[in-house]
């Protein structure tokens, strides 16, 4: 394989968006074709290697095939499809890296606030395990209460233990981060009312990571797609209209909005 492409997510949240929004669908887009040979050297249907930089400093390599090359304009870059026979096996290093990044989040449990600030790694690991064990013993009412007010470590434990059952409660938690909202928004199993709830929040949709997560979700309805796109700057809408990473209905609406802007 002569061509090597590279993606460098800047944070665990961006890596999560890449995995859930693109790679699990066997798609990827490498913008600004500067870290690999000129785009004229990248022929469609040519095999290549896609290197993904992980938060730990390691890398993961995926085999891919070039499906389109954009040589001009703001959408300049290369579109790929992953060719691994077993996609889950191929993505395992990336998923493991996401779990590692979550485990290293600072513990925000109220019970731990008075502990010594320079505790050992073993003590921190024990604290995280205790939170996960406590979460599994909660009643439904306690679970909902924690979802609405819990800190980061509690929210992570809740979502791991109960999945989508706690999303509605989590979305009412004022401490919820943009990365957490985006993770729910991009989930292909998220019910449409949950996606609509996220899309109706002006502050959330003002965040690019949340917009992109919503627009990459094929379950997002057309009227909501337009609302989310109208919250994006014109330059972003131009890119979305050209990128095959987004569902066709999203690209169609983006193109229509651009025509009205011109």
If DSSP states are collapsed to H, E and C, what string results for 67-91?
Answer: EEEECCCCCCEEEEEECCCCHHHHH
User: Does residue 40 have a pLDDT over 60?
Assistant: no
What mean pLDDT, rounded, does the chain reach? 81
Q: In terms of C-beta density within 10 A (0-12 exposed, 13-18 middle, 19 or more buried), how is residue 67 classed?
A: middle
Q: What is the average per-residue pLDDT within 160-187?
A: 91
Q: List C-alpha distances in Å: 253 to 74, 182, 237.
A: 19, 21, 10
Domain ranges, ordered by start, for the chain:
3-103, 107-176, 185-262
CA angle 150/20/34 to nearest 5° reads 120
Q: In terms of C-beta density within 10 A (0-12 exposed, 13-18 middle, 19 or more buried), how is residue 34 classed?
A: exposed
* Distance, first Cα to last Cα, the chain: 42
pLDDT category, 120, cuts 50, 70, 90? low
Residue-level pLDDT at 68: 86
Q: Which residues of 164-190 are buried (b: 16+ CB within 10 A; e: fewer)?
A: eebbbbbbebeebebbbbbbbbbbeeb
Closest CA to 167 of 149, 188, 144, 186: 144
Please give the CATH superfamily to which domain 3-103 belongs. predicted glycosyltransferase like domains (2.40.10.220)
Q: What is the average per-residue pLDDT within 207-225?
A: 90
pLDDT category, 127, cuts 50, 70, 90? low
């Amino acid at each position: 394989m002569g061509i090597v492409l590279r993606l460098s997510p800047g944070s665990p949240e961006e890596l999560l968006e890449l995995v859930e929004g693109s790679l699990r669908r066997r798609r990827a887009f490498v913008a600004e074709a500067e870290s690999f040979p000129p785009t004229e050297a990248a022929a469609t249907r040519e095999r290549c290697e896609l290197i993904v930089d992980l938060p730990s400093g390691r890398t993961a390599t995926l085999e891919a095939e070039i499906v389109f090359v954009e040589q001009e304009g703001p959408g300049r870059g290369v579109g790929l499809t992953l060719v691994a026979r077993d996609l889950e096996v191929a993505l395992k290093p990336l998923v493991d890296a996401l779990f590692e990044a979550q485990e290293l989040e600072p513990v925000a449990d109220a019970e731990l606030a008075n502990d010594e600030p320079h505790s050992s790694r073993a003590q921190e690991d024990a604290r995280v395990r205790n939170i996960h064990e406590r979460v599994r013993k909660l009643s439904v009412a306690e679970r909902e209460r924690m979802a609405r007010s819990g800190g980061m470590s509690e929210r992570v434990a809740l979502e791991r233990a109960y999945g989508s059952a706690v999303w509605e409660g989590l979305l009412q938690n004022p401490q919820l981060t943009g990365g957490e909202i985006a993770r729910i928004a991009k989930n292909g199993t998220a019910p449409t009312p949950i996606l609509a709830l996220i899309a109706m929040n002006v502050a959330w949709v003002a965040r690019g990571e949340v917009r992109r997560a919503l627009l990459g979700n094929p379950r997002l309805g057309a009227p909501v797609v337009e609302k989310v796109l109208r919250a994006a700057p014109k330059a972003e809408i131009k890119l979305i209209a050209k990128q095959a990473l987004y569902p066709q209905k999203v690209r169609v609406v983006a193109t229509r909005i651009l025509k009205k802007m011109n």
